[in-house]
Amino acid sequence: MSWGFTAWLVHPVTLAIAAVAVVTLFVVIELLLRSLSQLGNVRFQGILEEHPELFSSAATVHVSRLIDVLRWLQLGCLGLLWLVVFRFPGLGYGAATAIALMLPMLVVVAARFLVRPLSEDTATVLLRSVRPLASPLVGLIVRVSPESSAPPTEDEEEEASEAEIQAYLEAGEAAGIFEGDEGEIVESLVDFFDTVVREVMTPRTEMIAVEDTDNYRELLEVFARTHKSRIPIYHETIDRIVGVVHVKNFVKHGLRGAEPGVADLARECLVVPESKELGDLLRDFQQQHQQMAIVVDE
């Protein structure tokens, strides 16, 4: 085997291995930096202990981005190949050009099938290994930082929690955990729980309600006209809601031939402040077996 053929065979493989090693190093550095930035967050430590697979999935986000960056390494590979040509003139310009076209594809394929599985399998192990070494440094930084002297406010903790959830959603989408619109659905659910009732309530001027002095027939007409399943009942003024009539209970009395007054049909309803979050309201609905709430000014 001639020296020129050996150089043609060995150096592309060497460059490909080196490129994969560089990408692997980038992944490890990204993971270590992320670990350092999160070690001071006690909440994130608990999440990592209970659900390490989430953070392993998050590592794939970095791998995907690094693989995209590899496209820009083609010029660098060309430069290295021309250095090989000058060092080994016997290689030839044709062979160098062929290698220049093939090497980027080899690097991308190697990174996709070697680096990504490696990062997914070893991300948690790497983080747990570096944690004892990084903890003293992080503790020192936390003590020296002036921002760490005061405990985080409720708003800051809420923002951090939202950022963590968003990071997990992005990691899930990048790792292929979510398919189609599933990621958007989960994100909508997160937004739902953070929304206050003031943003989704029906304004008083648009409410359909019945006075407690109305009779059974009048309430029947309202149900038939509006196709609502629940009608609020008020006393004297719509600002004084005294209860809610459910169409199911209304029909039961009609089937029995009874026509009670509206006040007798009204059932107690949940009253909540306008600043209450929908997540908390949903829990109240479940605990008290309610389906409608009256929103009042605080």
**Structure-model confidence comparison of residues 167 and 31, the more confident one:** 167
Asked if the model's pLDDT at residue 62 lies above 50, the reply is no
**Region 45-54: what's the mean pLDDT?**
49
What pLDDT, on a 0 to 100 scale, did the predictor assign at position 204?
81
pLDDT tier at 176, thresholds 50, 70, 90: low
Q: Give the 3-state secondary structure of residue 259.
A: coil
Q: Are residues 129 and 11 in the same domain?
A: yes
**132 lies in the same domain as 167:** no
Rounded average pLDDT over 105-125:
58
The domain total for the chain is 3
User: Residues 204-248: pLDDT tens digits?
Assistant: 888 889 998 888 888 889 888 988 888 999 988 888 888 899 888
Same domain, 8 and 143: yes
Of 170, 165, 212, 214, residue with least CA distance to 62: 170
What is the distance between the alpha carbons of residues 210 and 235, in angstroms, rounded to a whole number? 9
Residues 128 and 41 in one domain: yes
Same domain (yes/no): 96, 142: yes
pLDDT at 121: 54
Q: What's the confidence (pLDDT) of residue 205?
A: 84
Asked if pLDDT for residue 5 goes beyond 50, the answer is no
Same domain, 142 and 172: no
Same domain, 89 and 204: no
Give the residue numbers spanning the domain of 54. 3-147
Do both 226 and 208 map to the same domain?
yes
Structure tokens at 220: 């029947």
CA distance 30 to 38: 12
- Same domain? For 51 and 133 the reply is yes
Residues 162 and 234 in one domain: no
Shared-domain flag, residues 143 and 17: yes
What is the distance between the alpha carbons of residues 110 and 118, in angstroms, rounded to a whole number?
11
Q: Which residues pair with 243 in a beta bridge?
A: 233
Whole-number pLDDT of residue 145:
54
CA–CA gap between residue 278 and residue 272 (Å, rounded):
11
> Which of these, 274, 295, 270, lies nearest to 283 by C-alpha position?
270
Same domain, 121 and 96: yes
User: CATH code at 248?
Assistant: 3.10.580.10
Question: What is the average pLDDT across 116-139?
Answer: 60
Q: Are 260 and 233 in contact (CB under 8 A)?
A: no
